[in-house]
Amino acid sequence: MIDKISSWKYTEEFHQEPEVIARARARAEEMGIESITPSVGSALALLVSSMNAKALVEVGTGAGVSGLWLQLASSTSVLASIDTEMQHQDLAKIAFEQAGIPNSRLRMINGKSGEVLVNLADEAYDLVLLDGDVESLLSQVKESYRLLRVGGVLAIPHALWRDRVPDQVLRDDNTEEYRTVLDFINLQGLFTPALSTIGDGLLLAAKK
C-alpha cells in the first residue's frame, strides 16, 4: 500500500521555490500570513504558462507569494491583486520589486473582494485565484464566472480546509462554506472542475 502521508510530503517538498519567493514566504511567516504551498504555486505557474495567460486576478495578496508564482510564469501577464490589508500589500510590493516585476504588470487594489470584483470587466480574465475572505467565497465564485473568458480557470487553494471538508461531522462556518462552493462548482454545470489534494486542497475549474 502507498503511504499517502509520505507521498503528500514528497510532493510538497518536490517543488523548489525561487529565492525571491522564499524570501517573500519568510516575510509572510513573520507576519503570520498564510501562503500557498510550493506545490500549489507550481501548479498555478504551470497553468499561467500553458494557457499563455495575460490577465489575472487574485483575491488575497498576502505578502506576494502567490502573486510571484503567477507573475514569474509569464513575462507579459498583468495581475490585479485584491486585499483588505494595506500592510500586506506593502510587503507584496517589496517582493514584486525584488523580482523585477514592473508596476505596469501590477494593479494593487485595497478593498473588500465583494466591492472590487463587481467593478471588473466581464469575460476579460484568463485566471482568477480566490485566497481571501472565506465567508464570502461563494459570491466570489459567482463573480469569477462572470469575469472569466470561456476556458479561463478559477483556482481555489485550501479547498479541503485543514482536511476538514471530507469529515461530514465537522460543521464550522469555513468548512461549510468550502463544501457549499465545491458542491456549487461540481453540480451547476458552469465549470469543468478538478480537485487535487496538493497543499491544503486545490480546486481548479475551467469555465465552460
> What is the C-alpha to C-alpha distance for residues 96 and 207, in angstroms, rounded to an integer?
29
pLDDT at residue 206, rounded to an integer: 98
The pairing of beta strand 202-207 with beta strand 191-196: antiparallel
pLDDT at position 12: 87
User: If you average pLDDT over residues 104-132, what whole number do you get?
Assistant: 97
Instruction: Kindly state the percentage of the chain with pLDDT values over 90.
Output: 93
Task: Select from 3.40.50.2300, 3.30.930.10, 3.40.50.150, 3.20.190.10 the CATH code of 4-207.
Answer: 3.40.50.150
Residue ranges per structural domain of the chain: 4-207
Over residues 54-80, mean pLDDT: 98
CA pair distance 136, 79, nearest whole angstrom: 21
Q: What is the pLDDT of residue 3?
A: 53
